[in-house]
Chain A
Amino acid sequence: MLNNNKLRTLLVAIPALALMACASGPTEEELAAERAKQEADRIAAEQAAQEAAQAEAVAQAEAAEAEALRMAREMMQQEKAELEAQQTVYFDFDRSTIKSEFEAILRKHAAFLVKNGDQSIRVEGHTDSRGTPEYNIALGERRGQAVETFLLNEGVSSSQITVVSFGEEKPAVSGTSEYAFAQNRRGVVVYE
């Protein structure tokens, strides 16, 4: 009877085993492939992370560079603004010689222009209202040229400077007082 039972068990077990055999786990090849894929994924992720880190580093470097540039530009602008606040030199009546008191200012302009070779200026020559308008155009040009010559002697390139004479046509102060005359006899450095 035991035999019968054994047989019955076998009868039940064999298909079960067969079934087990049918649902058998991955082959070695399959497992290797799986491992390779996981490895590739890991490497890819690692690479991506690395690249991201690199990009971040580059961006940081670029930002730092831009910041440095911005600061440089800001400093340049600040310097320029300071120079633009001291853009005027004054002349004696019917004269076009640079007075010694204005040489320091013009040297600052020159140093800035030498340092910033792409920066160009217009030198405006002006006169007071005495003398004829046409003569004053000539006198105004001579004043503008006096400023130009000073800057050239300080090493500024001639391609950075344009001289325009307005004669007596654009007074800084209107009227015919000595004060107005003195304010109007001027050379003005205008950054473009």
Chain B
Amino acid sequence: MKIRANLIPYLVVVCAITAISFSTSYSKKALAELEIVITEGVNNAKPIAVVPFKWTGSTVLPEDITQVITNNLLRSGKFNPISLSNMPQFPTNDTEINYGAWADIGIDTVITGSIEPLEGNQYRVQFQLIDVLRAQMTGGANSVLVEGQLVATKDHVLEDRAKNIRGEDFRQYAHIISDIVYERLTGERGAFLTRIAYVVVRDRETNRLPYQLVIADYDGANETRLLSSPEPLMSPSWSPDGNTLAYVSFENNRPQIFIQNIYTTERTLITSFEGINSSPVFSPDGKKLAMVLSKDGNPEIYVMDLASRQLERITRNRAIDTEPAWAPDGKTITFTSERGGKAQIYRVDLNTKRARRLTFEGDRNLGAEITPDNNNLVVVNQTQGNYHIARQQLSTGNMLVLTRTYLDESPSIAPNGSMIIYSTLHEGKQVLSLVSLDGRFKALLPATDGEVKSPSWSPFLL
């Protein structure tokens, strides 16, 4: 067999440390230009008011913090921020709030804030998260017994924080505020300060480097191209520290697994075996990489220890075994197998190597992921020729089909388990899409150029 060791002949690595840090400017030329368009589920969400933060300076602000928070809450599928025109007033903090006016329009949670200019490129951002119902009960001045004394509290102010930030950190801080608000109100950690990696495929006739590996904030902002290639790029997957991506590249006319640091852009060739080298996935501790190799005849699941490069074969079967996904505890791996005839999901214990079938509904089930709480399996379910994203409760085996479009695949779950990003067909093009784990909220991320696929949601980044 001939191994061509071209040294990344056409590969263009376009990325710099600054270009990818959170503090990137949003004026940078976007690539596929994803934008989230919510298609379903706002009606089920809880109304909330994000009052425009009061700006006391005279210059134009680098970013509209209020808008970023509003969009985040809306896109979480759990909140429905009301429009400016419906707000009875524009308070800056709890002392300015007319609680009755908000209660009258059915708003029981209000976010207020202000932004002050400081020396140089510094700004002081203050915000409050206010419980209108609680304030109505206590008149905004509750008293509690502390060591036998009645002490005035402001327990209707759920959060009250201030921070000095740089102009380029506005967007990041807006995500942090959103995370704080989301966690305070839902009890679940927010995932707004996360990223997605995905593959963009441009027209192969007109582009010399049509395959591109791209990273963006979870909301599609700050798109940065990590890699461009004349040959396919596949299966990007994040390391648990959010610094590295593993992926498959065909740049040498055969599949090879690489890992690449997204900040330094330094990359390492991991496997280049004869046959398939696919589906690389980092273990939860980041020390191992699960993958699919067919060097021994047909596709099997392997686990590589990254420090020693030692390979351990996990499956041993004449049928196709592929698409490994780690359980959160790193002790088991789910995978797709045709050992029972058609593709179904199995789970293998890494110690005993014993595999057990998990899915039985529909014609086929493929591409499984496990939710961070280890309670649910998210799969691509094929029923009557349609491929849908579905969720199966691991304890009961009950399956709920979450999407209705025709060719939904490559699900990747947000690190807080609230949302699934996947690829789907929209107007004949592959685009990314979001669906909440209960299936009620749906959004599209249409791109201005190219087909977008293989999304991978990053871990928490802070």
Contact = CB atoms under 8 A, between A and B. Distances in A.
B1 A134 contact: no
Given A129-B407, A139-B320, A162-B2, A134 B235 contact: yes
Interface in B369-412: 380, 382, 385, 387, 406-407, 409-410
Interface string B122-149: 0000000000000000000000000000
A115 interface: no
Interface in A127-172: 129-135, 137-139, 141-142, 159, 162-167, 169-170
B337 to A, nearest CB: 10
Contacts of A159: 1
A138 B320 contact: yes
Nearest to A132: B367
A181 to B, nearest CB: 11
B366 A141 contact: no
B288 to A, nearest CB: 18
A175 interface: yes
B299 interface: yes
Given A132-B323, A135-B366, A164 B253 contact: yes
B253 A132 contact: no
B250 A169 contact: yes
A176 B364 CA distance: 20
A1 B275 CA distance: 132
B254 A134 contact: no
A120 interface: yes
B193 interface: no
A130 B387 contact: yes
Interface string B1-36: 110000000000000000000000000000000000
A192 interface: yes
A180 B410 CA distance: 21
A174 B234 CA distance: 18
Interface residues of A, number: 26
Interface in B147-188: none
A137 B235 CA distance: 11
Contacts of B278: 134, 137-138
B322 interface: yes
A138 B299 contact: yes
B366 A131 contact: yes
A76 B279 CA distance: 41
B292 interface: yes
Interface in B431-462: 453-454
A163 B275 contact: yes
Contacts of A165: 255, 276
Contacts of B275: 141, 163
A134 B279 contact: yes
Interface residues of B, number: 38
Contacts of B323: 132, 134-135
Contacts of A122: 253
A94 to B, nearest CB: 8
A40 B384 CA distance: 100
Interface string A172-191: 00011000000000000000
B247 to A, nearest CB: 12
A137 B322 contact: yes
Given A141-B299, A176-B425, A133 B292 contact: no
Interface string B304-331: 0000000000000000101100000000
B259 interface: no
Contacts of B340: none
Contacts of B409: 131-133
Given A162-B1, A166-B232, A135 B276 contact: no
B107 interface: no
A134 B367 contact: yes
A141 B425 CA distance: 25
A169 B234 contact: yes
B234 A133 contact: yes
B428 interface: yes
A176 B320 contact: no
Given A137-B255, A138-B276, 19 more contacts: A131-B364, A131-B382, A131-B409, A132-B336, A133-B234, A134-B278, A135-B320, A135-B323, A135-B366, A137-B292, A137-B322, A138-B278, A138-B294, A138-B320, A138-B322, A142-B320, A162-B2, A166-B232, A176-B428
Interface of A: 120, 122, 129-135, 137-139, 141-142, 159, 162-167, 169-170, 175-176, 192
23 contacts: A129-B407, A130-B407, A131-B382, A132-B323, A133-B234, A133-B235, A133-B453, A133-B454, A135-B322, A137-B278, A137-B292, A138-B299, A141-B275, A141-B294, A142-B320, A159-B1, A164-B253, A165-B255, A169-B232, A169-B250, A176-B425, A176-B428, A192-B2
